[in-house]
Amino acid sequence: MQGKELFKSVFGLEAEDLFTAAGRINVIGEHVDYCGGKVFPAALNLRCNVYGRKTGANVIRIALKGIDGIKEIEIDKLDSYKELEYANYQAGVAYYLQQQGTPIVGCDLFYECTVPFGSGLSSSAAIEVATAVALSEYAGVKYDKVNLARISQRAENEYVGVNCGIMDQFASAMGKKDHAVLLDCSTLDYEYVPLDLGDYALVVANCNKPHNLVESKYNVRRQEVETALNIIKTVKDVKCLAELSPKDFNEVKHLLAGAVCKRAEHVVMECERVNMAVKALKAGDIVELGRLLNESHYSLRDLYEVTGKELDALSSFARKETDCLGSRMIGAGFGGCTISIVKKSAVEGFIRHVDKAYYDAIGYRASFYETSIEDGITVTKL
Ligand code: GLA
Name the band, by pLDDT with cuts 50, 70 and 90, for residue 213: low
Mean pLDDT to the nearest integer, 1-5: 89
Residue 243 CA: distances (Å) to CA of 184, 254, 264, 272, 280: 11, 18, 12, 10, 22
Residue 309 CA: distances (Å) to CA of 44, 71, 131, 296: 26, 37, 35, 16
Look up the pTM and report it: 0.97
What pLDDT sits at residue 288?
98
Name the band, by pLDDT with cuts 50, 70 and 90, for residue 106: very high
Pocket residues for ligand 1 (CB within 6 Å)?
A: 30-31, 33-34, 122, 164-165, 167-168, 331-332
How far apart (Å, rounded) are the C-alpha atoms in residues 250 and 265?
9
The three-point CA angle 68-73-76 to 5° equals 170
Secondary structure in 3-state letters for 13-53: CCCCEEEEEEEEEECCCCCCHHHCCEECEEEEEEEEEEEEE
237 Cα distance to chain centroid: 31
Question: How does pLDDT run across 31-67, given as a tens digit for each residue?
Answer: 999 999 999 999 999 999 999 999 989 999 999 999 9
Active site residue 168: yes
SS3 369: strand
% of the chain residues with pLDDT over 70 = 99
Distance 169 CA to ligand 1 centre (A): 10
**C-alpha torsion sign, points 222, 223, 227, 233:** positive
Select which of 33, 108, 168, 312 is catalytic: 168
- How does the average pLDDT of the chain come out, rounded? 97
Protein residue closest via CA to atom 8 of ligand 1: 164
To test the ligand 1 pocket, which listed residue (34, 39, 129, 167) has its Cβ within 8 A of the most ligand atoms? Answer: 167
Mean pLDDT to the nearest integer, 202-218: 88
Mean pLDDT to the nearest integer, 11-22: 98
Question: How does pLDDT run across 124-171, given as a tens digit for each residue?
Answer: 999 999 999 999 999 999 999 999 999 999 999 999 998 999 999 999
Name the band, by pLDDT with cuts 50, 70 and 90, for residue 211: confident
To test the ligand 1 pocket, which listed residue (163, 168, 170, 188) has its Cβ within 8 A of the most ligand atoms? Answer: 168
Question: How does pLDDT run across 240-287, given as a tens digit for each residue?
Answer: 999 999 999 999 999 999 999 999 999 999 999 999 999 999 999 999
pLDDT at 188 over 90: yes
Distance 33 CA to ligand 1 centre (A): 7
